[in-house]
Chain A
Amino acid sequence: NAGVTQTPKFQVLKTGQSMTLQCAQDMNHEYMSWYRQDPGMGLRLIHYSVGAGITDQGEVPNGYNVSRSTTEDFPLRLLSAAPSQTSVYFCASSYNVVRGHEQFFGPGTRLTVL
């Protein structure tokens, strides 16, 4: 199993550009989530999904969209990038939401917005 994969690993955007961060898992996990990690701020939840077709907002959802059309994929879309979105983004998955503490994280995408 590849586990949780994320692409790209690095990305530089200009203010106002849009892009999609890809996340895929091959463990047949129901629950998937996106976090951003900023120095001194820990991991903050952006959006999460409890299954295909079901998504919900986390702590910091503004400026981001998600969709979950399949169990395997959970892309994160930045609609109009802003310098405040410069961060490291992690996708995570777990078997189901009740066992949401056992999250498997991807390797991350480092995003810089100029």
Chain B
Amino acid sequence: QQQVKQSPQSLIVQKGGISIINCAYENTAFDYFPWYQQFPGKGPALLIAIRPDVSEKKEGRFTISFNKSAKQFSLHIMDSQPGDSATYFCAAIVNSGYSTLTFGKGTMLLVSP
């Protein structure tokens, strides 16, 4: 049972455009939602994260939008650059006690020059 569904699987965006990656979750106990960025040949790295008590979090060109009632959250990359080309994973976790990250299946983003 996949608890975090991520779409699209791949995405091509022109330089300067907006990249949007969507995730939906099923487990209402999840209370922390990080995004990881992975460049080819490297391990994933934490990019940005959000708690469900806020609807939006912005760090530079990266924004997470969160819709608790719909159990959905999304990553927006504004002014996308070729250096943003990477695989992006959304994830979710119950942020207390002993819990583990549940990852989406990933989105491969290519930003064309």
Contacts and interface: CB of A to CB of B under 8 A. Distances in A.
A81 interface: no
Given A101-B32, A101-B91, A101-B93, A108 B98 contact: no
Given A40-B105, A41-B105, A42-B104, A101 B95 contact: yes
8 contacts: A42-B104, A42-B106, A43-B106, A45-B100, A58-B100, A97-B97, A100-B95, A101-B95
Query: What 9 A-B pairs are tightest by C-beta distance, nearest first?
Result: A105-B43, A42-B105, A43-B103, A101-B34, A42-B103, A101-B93, A105-B44, A42-B106, A101-B32
Among B46, B93, B100, B104, the one with the most A-chain Cβ atoms within 10 Å of its Cβ is B100
A107 B97 contact: no
A100 B93 contact: yes
B99 interface: yes
Interface string A29-50: 0000100000011111100101
Contacts of B93: 100-101
B43 A90 contact: yes
Interface of B: 6, 9, 32, 34, 41-46, 49, 89, 91, 93, 95-101, 103-106
A104 B42 CA distance: 12
A97 B49 contact: no
B22 to A, nearest CB: 15
A107 B100 contact: no
B76 to A, nearest CB: 20
Would you call the interface of chain B mostly helix, strand, loop, or mixed? loop
B96 A98 contact: yes
A106 interface: yes
Nearest to A44: B103
Nearest to A99: B95
Contacts of B105: 40-42
Given A90-B44, A106-B43, A108-B43, A33 B9 contact: no
A57 to B, nearest CB: 10
Contacts of A107: 41-43
A112 B64 CA distance: 36
